[in-house]
Structure 1
Amino acid sequence: MSYIDKINRFSWFIIANSTSGNGDFSKQWKEIRQNLNHKNLDYSFAFTQFSKHEVDLVQNAIKKGFRNIISVGGDGTLHNVVNGIMLQRYVKTSELTIGVIPLGTGNDWIKTYHIPNHIEKSIEIIQRKKTILQDIGVLKTTNCKLTYFNNVAGLGYDGYIVNKLKSLKRFGAIAYLLAGIYGLLFYKKSTFKIIFDDKVIETNCLMTIFGICKFSGGGMQFTKNVHTTDGLLDITIAKNLTFFDLIFHLPKLYSGKIVQHKKVATYKTNRITVIPKNAKPFIQADGELVGTGEVSVEIIEKAVKFCVNIL
């Protein structure tokens, strides 16, 4: 190991998405650097230049000896950083640590760990380096492409609204609600064949969710009793829920009580396959579209360390 590699091992490598921050990135980046310097954190940095550039940046940083990565941006930036870590073959993924400085629109992953959407406070959490070794999910779509996720994935209605969200992000946080309402009006449910453990469920389905953490879609909670280190996916199958079901129970989408609805079923498993019978619904992972149609999902137990706010 070279001298530079040894130095990098204890430094942070920052990957910043300059399109995050609702147009105020330059101002926020100045504040980030001031706080990092004030706390005497040693770091290098790079800005993303194109879609999924985080994957390349992470792998190059690890190759240079960095073992601590900071994601600056939203859930999409973090998703790509995680994929960069999981796809590299230089070191064990469990030897790598991720810190998050949230700047994005949704920032759902941070809610599970009580990380504030605040630059100075999130850097304080990184400085303390209290970590949790979290599970990571992996999706395999019909073209055998692998995609990793650290928060929540799913297909059906939630994939549909992620696709719609692309044209609504200019509205900020309310975009999630607007996309959700649009989906309720126009998304057509289809029949899913769902296979896990010794069960085969075939049902007309609004969506099937694969959860590791609690929140998605701008603060909605579709998972039940999640434990981010138990080696299990938290499965939610929303069956023939109607527009009026969801509108009437809208507060329950944010409180998590929607899982108590008679048309919603929850399970825990470490492996699941969902086969849509008469459609090719969108598949989303951490709010990013990753494919359509059939998907198989597995859990990788205690895969990556994250800096979290331990209360």
Structure 2
Amino acid sequence: MRAVRTTVIVNPSAASGRAGRLEGQIREDLESAGISYVWAPTEGPRHATELARRAVEDQVDTILTVGGDGTLNEVIHGYLDETGRPRRGPALCVLPVGTGGDFRKTFDWEDGVAAGLERLRRGRKRPLDLGLVELTRLDGSLERRAFVNILSFGVGGVTDQLVNAGPKWIGGKAAFFLGALRATFAYRPVPVEVLVDGDAWLTSPILNVALANGRFFGGGMHIAPEADPSDGWLDLVAITDRNAVQSLGLAPYLYRGTHMNQAGVHGRRGRRVEARPTRPDAEVLIDLDGEMPGKLPLTAELAPGAIDLLV
């Protein structure tokens, strides 16, 4: 078998240090499979992007990412050029270890090292779309970012703030559920205007609006049951104004993915989305793959088939 040059980007702190503790097992399995690799641990925020960019420039065959959805998001930024557009790069293999673990649920991947390394060994590729967005940072400046799973705005951004500031040892689903519960009572719906492919789609106070490439977010909420991250479309799901009690009543439907026919839930598909609050002084926070990078206004679009994903 031809030696495969793989850069292993691992976040040792993911899942309260579990990713780092898997180093011995991953190295042993890679060496047993005869896979040539470079071990590249992250040392701080956005270091995974730097490591991925270096791997793209070195033209390695594969990037294997070991960490959570936040680590994966950092890695996909390494595939972007200086203008924020995707460039061709190595195949991407994901070994999910983290707080949320939502990206893997779309593909129904088994948990554990063996399953992730089997995808690497097998080498079967599937095109992966990327979301590209220009958003507003909290200081008012503009920033170009990318998302591989889901971008949302509304209560999702508040949830990110609470989850990322809280303990991770209680586990992904519990951490996100408790964060969402606290956010639901703290959040006050803000009127927003959303355009899809240039057409007015929504003008309403919102609980949350999701731009979905994948199907799950928030520690297991099945927000976009029909989303396919290789079909060239974003699935939009909007949940309009409702009080905290009504929001909690919707939660079981969200986790089961049976919410699309509930009152106040709206869906459509598109490739370009513009969103802004209707009040200039209103602050609507953004959730981008489980992180809170800023607020509305934003402009997002899809880059079809930007990365080859190993499945």
Q: What's the CA shift string for 1:279-305, capped at 9, x where partnerless?
A: 112112111111112111100011101
**Deviation digits for residues 69-127 of structure 1, max 9, x if unmatched?**
011100000000001112369x9734421101111111111111122221111111111
Q: Where does residue 62 of structure 1 map in the other structure?
A: 56
- Hey, what's the Cα distance between the residues in 1 that align with 2:32 and 2:15? 22
Q: Secondary structure at the match of 1:23?
A: helix
User: 9, 17, 27: which one pairs with 1:15?
Assistant: 9
Deviation of 1:250 (Å): 2.2
Contact 1:76/1:287 (<8 A) preserved = yes
**Is residue 2:127 matched to residue 1:133?**
yes
Letter matched to residue 193 of structure 1: E
Classify the secondary structure of the residue corresponding to 1:259. coil
1:305 matches 2:308: yes
CA distance in 1, matches of 2:7, 2:232: 28
Task: Give the direction of change, closer, same or farther, for the CA distance of 1:282–1:92 in structure 2 (3 Å limit).
Answer: closer
Q: Which moved more, 1:91-100 or 1:233-242?
A: 91-100
**Residues 206 and 21 of structure 1: CA distance in aligned 2, closer, same or farther (over 3 Å):** closer
Task: Identify the residue that residue 47 of structure 1 maps to in structure 2.
Answer: 41
What CA distance in whole angstroms lies between the structure 1 residues aligned with 2:82 and 2:124?
Answer: 24
**Larger deviation: 11-20 or 25-34?**
25-34
Determine which of 264, 286, 296 is the counterpart of 1:293: 296
Under a length normalisation based on structure 1, what TM-score does the superposition of the two structures give? 0.91
- Counterpart for residue 31 of structure 2: 37
The residue type equivalent to 2:31 in the other structure is N
Q: What CA deviation, in whole Å up to 9, does each residue of 1:225-278 have, x standing for no partner?
A: 112222111111110132222322322111111222120100101001110123
The amino acid across from 2:237 in the alignment is T
Distance 1:30 1:160 in 2: 37
1:241 aligns with 2:239: no
User: CA 1:53–1:267 in 2, change beyond 3 Å: closer, same or farther?
Assistant: same
In structure 2, C-alpha distance between the alignment counterparts of 1:234 and 1:145, rounded to whole Å = 23
> Does structure 2 conserve the Cα–Cα contact (< 8 Å) formed by 1:235 and 1:268?
yes
Contact 2:81–2:87 (CA under 8 A) maintained in structure 1: no
Structure 2 residue identity aligned to 1:166: N
Going from structure 1 to structure 2, the CA distance change for 1:212 and 1:24 (only over 3 Å counts) comes to closer
Deviation at 1:201, TM superposition (A): 2.3
Distance 2:133 2:217 in 1: 17
Letter in 2 for 1:266: G
Supply the AA of the counterpart residue of 2:291: E
> Contact 2:13 / 2:20 at 8 angstroms: preserved in 1?
no
Q: Does 1:112 align with 2:113?
A: no
Q: Deviations over 1:33-87 (max 9, x none)?
A: 1111122211112111110101111111222231310111000000000011123
Change (3 A) 1:24 1:236: closer
1:204 is displaced (CA, Å) by 0.9
Distance 1:161 1:26, change over 3 A: closer
Where do residues 150-161 of structure 1 align in structure 2 (5 Å cutoff)? 150-161=148-159
1-side partners of 2:86 and 2:200: how far apart?
Answer: 34
Report the count of equivalent residues.
Answer: 300
Cα distance in 2 between the residues matched to 1:26 and 1:284:
26
Structure 1 contact 59–88 (Cα < 8 Å) conserved: no
Q: Distance in 2 between matches of 1:304 and 1:46?
A: 20
* 163, 166, 191: which one aligns with 1:165: 163
Unaligned runs of 5+ in 2: none
For the 8 Å contact 1:107–1:218, the answer to whether it is kept is yes
* Per-residue CA distance 1:188-230 (angstroms, 9 max, x = gap): 1100011123224210111111000101111101114112222
Distance 1:230 1:26 in 2: 34
| Percentage identity across paired residues of the two chains | 24
| RMSD over equivalenced CA pairs, Å | 1.9
TM-score by length of 2: 0.91
1:269 aligns with 2:263: no
Answering whether residue 180 of structure 2 is matched by residue 202 of structure 1, we say no
Distance 1:92 1:151, change over 3 A: closer
Deviates further, 292-301 or 222-231: 222-231
SS at match of 1:134: strand
1:139-179: per-residue Cα shift (whole Å, max 9, x none)? 11133311011100111111110111112233322111100
Segments of structure 1 that go 5 or more residues without pairing to the other structure are 1-6
Q: Secondary structure at the match of 1:249?
A: helix
